[in-house]
Amino acid sequence: MKRIALMGVISVLTVVFLISFAQAGPPFNNLEGVGGVAFNPLAYLADSEGSATHIKINDVDLVGAPRLGGWYVSLGDVDVDWTTIGIADTFFKRLEISYGYETINQANVNAKHKNNLGGKLLLLPENAFDTKFIPAVSVGGILKHTSNVGVGVDASSVDYYLVATKLVTQLPRPLLLSAGALSTKGKATGVFGYDKDRKTIAFGNIDVVLPGDFIAGFEFKQGARYPDWKDANYWDAHVAWTPNKNLTLILAYVDAGDHKSSKVTGLGNGVVLSAQYAF
């Protein structure tokens, strides 16, 4: 199964290399298809800025250029292969619509399939009111459904989030900062189903734009803690490379919590690969 998943990632990379159109870089399609990084959404909309890639009527920007992203996560501690593919587009430069499909394979366990339908509304554009310090602010929701979750949990739920993102350009290298709050019922983002209770958790990202078309960063997501289930905190350290204006390749190390812990549900650590394409 690992070999098949890795072959799939290589195929995605090969196809992406053969295409060329507009602007790479964040936001990417995250694991759930939403414009963000890996775990977390950004306030930015998944939309390139090239006017030639937009559909306009009477100078009204109706539809932006879509973004595609694929991920492969190998969590060797728990023998899990996690593959996802997502697509997102922006309408009227205000509303992002996204879809993400996840497959989680674990040895001797029925595969889980997770569907994510997202919507994100840009409330405040970055640097609004002719300032240089106001972050972009967005609110969003993700309708989720997971197969084979077992008994005692729900198979569907909705996440809600509020996020602010700012690119700081006054430093020697541009620095992207993002933070937000997520209201969720998901157990391990919904892979193990959805609780009856709802919890609010925090998340954040920091990325620095480096010479040579590289981006390096760190991402954190707090674990939701329900009465009968407590998720571990997740974090990852990643490096992204944008070899051209369309393509971004990402390599990351992820820590999804101690899989041997009796206090929280962790998924161990592993390697993450991603290919992202901006039309």
pLDDT (tens, 9 = 90+) of the chain, 279 residues, equals: 444 444 444 444 433 333 333 356 789 999 999 999 999 999 999 876 655 566 777 777 788 889 999 999 999 999 999 999 999 999 988 999 999 999 999 988 899 999 999 999 999 999 999 888 999 999 999 999 999 998 889 999 999 999 999 999 999 999 999 999 999 999 999 999 999 999 999 999 999 999 999 999 999 999 999 999 999 999 999 999 999 988 999 999 999 999 999 899 999 999 999 999 998
136 strand-pairing partners: 165
Contact call for residues 42 and 26 (beta carbons, < 8 A): yes
Token duo for residue 61: 């920007």
Given this model, what pLDDT does residue 13 score? 40
Contact call for residues 255 and 236 (beta carbons, < 8 A): yes
What is the distance in angstroms between the CA of the first residue and the CA of the last residue of the chain? 31
What residues make up the domain containing 66? 2-278
The owner of tokens 């991402």 is 219
User: Which residues, in sequence order, are CB contacts of 15 under 8 Å at separation 6+?
Assistant: none
Given this model, what pLDDT does residue 218 score? 98
* One-letter amino acid for residue 110 of the chain: N
Count of beta carbons in the 10 Å neighbourhood of residue 32:
28
- 3-class DSSP string for the chain: CHHHHHHHHHHHHHHHHCCCCCCCCCCEECCCCCEECCCCECCCCCCCCCHHHCEEECCEEEECCCEEEEEEEEECCCCEEEEEEEEEEEECCCEEEEEEEEEEEECCEEEEEEEEEEEEEEEECCCHHHCCCCCEEEEEEEEEEECCCCCCCECEEEEEEEEEEEEECCCCCCEEEEEEEEEEEECHHHCCCEEEEEEEEEEEEEEEEECCCEEEEEEEECCCEECCEEECCEEEEEEEECCCCCEEEEEEEEECCCCCCCCCECCCEEEEEEEEEEC
Token duo for residue 51: 């006017």
> Number of folded domains in the chain?
1
Q: For residue 273, what are the CA distances in angstroms to 18, 122, 215, 240?
A: 19, 28, 15, 10
* Residue 25: CATH number of its domain: 2.40.160.40
* One-letter amino acid for residue 249 of the chain: L
pTM above 0.75, yes or no: yes
